[in-house]
Structure formats: structure tokens, C-alpha cells
Amino acid sequence: MVPAMSVDVSRYLQRLQLDAPPPLTLAGLTLLQQRHNALLPFETLTSLLRDAVAIDLDSVQHKLLHAQRGGYCFELNGAFLALLQALGFDARPLSARVLLSAADGELTARTHLLLRVHLLGEDWLVDTGFGSLTPTVPLRLHETAVQDTPHERYRVQRLEDGDYMLASEAGDDWRPLYRFDLQPPAPIDNEVGNWYVCTHPQSSFPGQLRASLTGPDWRRTIGSGNYTEYRPGQVPAKRPLRDVQDVREVLQQGFGMRLPDDPRLDPAIADWLQRSRAASV
């Protein structure tokens, strides 16, 4: 067996447009998370093509650092975990049950990877892979008060069974995002969760295109056949994606992606657009 390569710290920092590793401080961790969210998009082109998503470090590094792509939680947070550990941060993985589209009381599978970083005597929740609602700064894990970020406001709640739940503010209400405990998942658990997400018939990912990128004062998203840009204090600018060429240009220019040279891509985008339009009628 060929041993897995270690994370390419130099290339990773270059991808994050950093000349040197930041200090092992909260400011350094925040800088890394913000650069990650602004430069490595959440995107599901692999799932759009109905291909299995490889989450081993070698494959993810090639995709993120060399192919100028992004990925979803198992890729983005998996690579970010390897980077943080290589830089000297005390970082560990956690797995979560996504609640965003779940019915009340529904027990969903553990299909989201996130991170716990112990720093300055505190535990911090770090996530770079939850799409359009990804927190953009570390959140205090054991703080029950509302936590402000440059984009949304979040709240970490302790549930009666001992789990934690992350929620984001939505108008006058709170939207549950996911629940988790503090037991780090084994690598095989991530493999199983990832396999469900990218291949299971009841997963919402196969055949779908989603993308999200978040800068200092904006979020850009693709979903349900639309492109939307959010800015604090402004009405979201949302428009339908016109055709395959429009989608390609938005992904390249708005999300900084290098699209794969795959003959299946344009037909898959066209099919997704058609299904998205039919679903919106």
C-alpha cells in the first residue's frame, strides 16, 4: 500500500493567499477560516455528475490545491483539519446530523463533518463546509448567548440528551442547522457518511448543483436554478441562471473555479436547469 501523503502546507497557504503561516491564536484561526470561506468554494459538481466523491487527503488536495476546485464538508473541513493540525492547532473532527430540512423530531444520519479547535483554554466550533450558512468565524462551543459574525448571528444550544445544536438567526426566529456530540468520528464513519451523501437515492446531492462562496461583506450562492448574492443590510440579489453558458461563467468568474474538462458536464448542467425550472412552477 502506498502511504498517504501529508498535507502540502506551502501550497495550501498559497491557495489561501497567505505568505506565511498565521500565529496559533484566535486571530490566526479566524484569518484561516475567513480565507478558506472566501477562496475555496462549497460546490457539488462531482455530485452533479453523479460520481462518487473521494475524501482521502491525496484526492482532496489535488482537487482543492491543484485543480482550482472546491468541495463539500467532507472535503473542505477534512482538508482544513489536516492544515490546522500541521500548523500546530489542537483541532479534531466532529460529525453532525443535519437539521436544516428535517422534520421536527426526525433523527437524521451523521452526514456533516465539522471541527473542534481547543485554543486559549476554550473550545471553538469551526466549519468551512456548510454551504450558504457556513459560519465565517470560529464560534465558542460552550457559549449559550447569541454570537455575532460578519454575516449571520448564531447560537449554540445544549440539548436535553447532551448533544449540541447550532442554529442561525432567520428573521425573528432561529433556524436549526445541525446537532452533534463531542465524540470524534473514526475515518470509516466519515467514509460511510460521505458515501451516503454522494450516492444514496434518498440523498439530496446526486444530480444537484449547489455552490457557495463568502467574502468579507458578501455571500454568493447557486441553488435551485438561481444565482444569489447577499450583502448585509440589502435585499438579496437573486436571478435565474439562463443557460449552460451562464452557469459556466458564474462558476468561473463568481466562484473562481476551473471547470473540469468532462463531456458530461454541460448536459448535466442543462438537465439540472430543466429540473430546477420544472420544480419552481
Confidence at 193, pLDDT banded by 50, 70, 90? very high
Mean pLDDT across the stretch 157-182? 95
**Long-range own/partner contacts, residues 236-242 (CB < 8 A, 24 or more apart):** 240/277, 241/273
> Which band of pLDDT confidence, cut at 50, 70 and 90, is reported for residue 3?
very low
Catalytic residue among 8, 36, 112, 198: 112
In the set 8, 51, 56, 127, the catalytic residue is: 127
For residue 51, pLDDT over 60 is answered with yes
Q: Where are the domains of the chain?
A: 9-280
Give the pLDDT score at 30.
98
| Catalytic residue from among 8, 73, 151, 198 | 73
Query: What is the identity of the amino acid at 61?
Result: Q
Average pLDDT over residues 85-111: 94
Confidence of residue 172 (pLDDT cuts 50, 70, 90): confident
Q: Please say if 73 is a catalytic residue.
A: yes
pLDDT computed for residue 5 by the predictor: 66
Q: How many helices (H) and strands (E) does the chain have?
A: 8, 13
Query: What kind and span of H or E run contains 118?
Result: strand 110-119
How many other β-carbons are positioned within 10 Å of the β-carbon of residue 46? 21
Q: Count of CB atoms within 10 A of residue 154's CB?
A: 23
CB burial of 73-97 (b: ≥16 within 10 Å; e: otherwise) equals: bbbbbbbbbbbbbebebebbbbbbb
Residue 50 has φ and ψ, to the nearest 5°, of: 65, 30
Which tens digit of pLDDT belongs to each residue from 223-245?
A: 999 999 999 889 999 999 999 99
pLDDT in tens, 116-136: 999 989 999 999 999 999 999
Length of the chain: 281
Look up 181 and say whether it is catalytic.
no
**Do β-strands 139-140 and 147-148 pair in parallel, antiparallel, or remain unpaired?**
unpaired
What number of other Cβ atoms are within 10 A of residue 237's Cβ?
A: 12
Q: What is the CA radius of gyration of the chain?
A: 18
Domain 9-280 has CATH 3.40.710.10: no
Q: Which three cell numbers stand for residue 228?
A: 444569489
246-273 residue pLDDT tens: 999 999 999 999 999 999 999 999 999 9
Query: What does pTM read for this prediction?
Result: 0.96
DSSP assignments along 201-232, one per residue? TT-S-TT---EEEEETTEEEEEETTEEEEE-T
The three-state secondary structure class of 63 is: helix
The SS3 call for residue 95 is strand
- Residue 69: name the closest of 268, 229, 259, 200 by CA: 259
Helix (H) or strand (E) holding 15, with range, is helix 9-15
Q: CA-CA distance, 176 to 102, in Å (whole number)? A: 9
For residues 88-111, average pLDDT: 93
Task: Calculate the average pLDDT of the chain.
Answer: 95
Query: Known catalytic residue: 58?
Result: no
Query: Hey, which residues does 147 pair with through a beta bridge?
Result: 154
Residue 149 makes CB contacts below 8 A (sequence gap 6+) with 135, 136, 137, 139
